[in-house]
Amino acid sequence: MTTDCVFCRIVAGAEPATLVYEDERAIAFLDLHPVHAGHTLVVPRHHVTDLRECDADLAAHLFAVSARLAPVVTQKTDADGFNIWTAAGRAAGQTVFHLHLHVLPRFFGDVFGPRQPNSKPPEATRGELERVAARILAGE
């Protein structure tokens, strides 16, 4: 256990949290600073910094747990929809460096969300897309 990690302390029962789900590999609890009521964090029991350190089986499990919880959270909070998202690294907005998936109820007209341009980004050329794809494919 990384004792300076608040989520590891929650997993160990050394820090209070309001759990809404748990199994042998993951727990889910309500975010202490909810964007909306029902904002839930799905967290692996063992310390993983972010998705880059997470094996595919655990990633699939965490997403499956999130996908099971999200419709329930949405219904029970009378939300209009939900987001499931994760941040990897400070540049992406990660502030707790123990992997977590946010299950975030959403409402028509709410203003929470990633910053984005006011207008639709310009269409990329096929050549630009193919250059980026070639770099991604070369990494496999």
Nearer to Zn ion, 8 or 28 (CB): 8
Q: How far apart are CA 111 and CA 133, in angstroms?
A: 32
Q: Among residues 7 and 29, whose Cβ is nearest to Zn ion? A: 7
Backbone phi, psi, residue 4, to 5°: -85, 5
- Residue span binding Zn ion (CB under 5 A) among the ranges 2-10, 84-92, 104-112, 122-130: 2-10
Q: Least CB distance from residue 72 to Zn ion, whole Å? A: 25
Please identify which residue in the block is written with the tokens 């496999």.
140
Map tokens 């089986």 to a residue: 57
Does residue 17 contact residue 29 with C-beta atoms inside 8 Å? yes
Q: Is 98 in the site for Zn ion (CB under 5 A)?
A: yes
Give the closest residue to 48 by CA, choosing from 40, 61, 58, 63: 58
Site for Zn ion (CB under 5 A): which residue of 22, 34, 35, 47?
Answer: 47
Q: Which residue's CB atom is positioned nearest to Zn ion? A: 5
Told to check if 8 binds Zn ion by CB under 5 A, we report yes
Shortest spacing between CB 123 and Zn ion, in angstroms:
41
- Token representation of residue 43: 């967290």
Q: Which residues bind Zn ion (CB under 5 A)?
A: 2, 5, 7-8, 47, 98
